[in-house]
Amino acid sequence: MRPSPEPVSFWCLPRSILRLLVAAFFLATAIPIASAQSNAVTLPRNLSQLVSEADSIVLGRVKSVSLEPHPQLRNLMMVVVTIQLEDTVVGQSAGAYTFNQAAIDKRDQQQKMGYRVGQHLLLLMMRPSGYGLTSPAGIQQGRFEIAPGADGKLHAVNGFANAGLFRGMNSQLKSLRSQVSQKTLEQFDGQNSGPLPLEDLKTIIRSLAPKRLPQ
């Protein structure tokens, strides 16, 4: 009878295989965290889907932004952002709103996920996880930067240039046509991309989440 082979120690494996095994383990355990990255692959979402995923929708300016280690998850860095609020479109926040967003990628860490002090933002934020981590719904899709338009009014544009924002929402938008500008109506009908008047965007968001407005 042939003797049974000796078990191979994990640490005796070639370094190249060890690296692959470690990388596979990291990817398997990092999936929930990676969803908070700026470069993560996410499915396209329309505005209705983004609003349904959001726990808080806030408007304001970035008051502070810093890169810090997570207090519980070893070796994980997070960007800590505080927004000085101008308006809470959905949710109960007042005064200031602070959130922690995971930053795994070195570039995201160096750029602090693209957040800058003074930046004017409308954020559709997901409910924080048990580890206190969150991100905008749809990552860049739920993060709108605010800037004055050619008409002198404030406009909002997300990281996808608002592409597909109203896709499949014809029935939901029907009752809003008398409440928004001609520019926004053109984006309803043509599925165009580009900045939207901020007040129109807020009106649409409130119509999509009427039961979640602050009392």
Give the global pTM: 0.78
Which DSSP string corresponds to 63-125?
EEEEEEE-SSSTT-EEEEEEEEEEEEEESS--SEEEEEEE--SHHHHHHGGG--TT-EEEEEE
Taking Cα atoms as reference points, which of 82, 91, 31, 80 lies closest to residue 58? Answer: 91
The residue to which tokens 């505005």 are assigned: 47
- Secondary structure class of 53 (helix, strand, coil): helix
Taking Cα atoms as reference points, which of 90, 63, 118 lies closest to residue 209? Answer: 90
**Count of residues in the chain:** 215
What's the pLDDT tens digit per position in 82-119? 999 999 988 876 789 999 999 999 999 999 999 999 99
Q: Are 75 and 134 in contact (CB under 8 A)?
A: no
The residue to which tokens 């889907």 are assigned: 49
What does the pLDDT read at residue 74?
85
The full set of domain ranges for the chain reads 47-212
**Residue 174 DSSP symbol:** G
What's the pLDDT tens digit per position in 13-42? 555 444 444 444 433 333 344 344 454 557
pLDDT-derived band at 144, boundaries 50, 70, 90: very high
What does each C-alpha distance from 12 to 5, 35, 133 come to in angstroms?
A: 15, 34, 37
Phi and psi at 117, nearest 5°, equal -60, 135
The residue to which tokens 């000796």 are assigned: 6
The residue ranking higher by pLDDT, 36 or 149, is 149
